[in-house]
Amino acid sequence: MTSIAGPLTRPLYDSTDSLLRFAMRLDATLTGLMGLAVAAAADPISRMTGLTSGQEYSIGAFFVLYGLAVFSLAALPNLRRAGIGVVVGNLVYTVAAIVAAELVPMTSTGVAATLATGVYTALFAGLQYLGVRRLAA
């Protein structure tokens, strides 16, 4: 008689990728939802920020696509490379938000919103970095 061994799995509490997977999914969900809101209300938001409606719509569409991409990456069985890529992407966006707040002509509300998105991405980059560090090398 032969026996068939089941797949080798670890208990959930022993998982090393749960923080990174959670942080990526939360980032993707919040960013995608914000993108939908910005795209749907591009005209009124543009009056508050000083950007054009087309620019606001493009930003919203980018956020939705970014959210879909990160949510898809969070489903990968090996998260290390994807996690590092998302951390780098969030850091690049943080720097871009700071530069945009200085160079792009916006209202004070637009500058505040841009800097707030930079803070958001910096916080998620930090959380996701912690998740990458927890992964077994």
Q: How far apart are CA 20 and CA 76, in angstroms?
A: 11
First to last CA, the chain: 39
The confidence score (pLDDT) of residue 133 equals: 92
User: Mind listing the pLDDT tens digit for each residue in 48-87?
Assistant: 999 999 999 999 999 999 999 999 999 998 899 999 999 9
- CA angle, corner 45, sides to 48 and 29, nearest 5? 130
User: Mind listing the pLDDT tens digit for each residue in 10-36?
Assistant: 454 555 678 999 999 999 999 999 999
The confidence score (pLDDT) of residue 135 equals: 83
pLDDT-based confidence at residue 4 (cuts at 50, 70, 90): low
The confidence score (pLDDT) of residue 16 equals: 65
The confidence score (pLDDT) of residue 5 equals: 55
Question: What are the respective helix, strand and coil percentages of the chain, to the nearest 5?
Answer: 75, 0, 25
The values of phi and psi at residue 97, to 5°, are -65, -40
Residue 52, SS3? coil
pTM confidence score:
0.83
Q: How far apart are CA 44 and CA 117, in angstroms?
A: 18
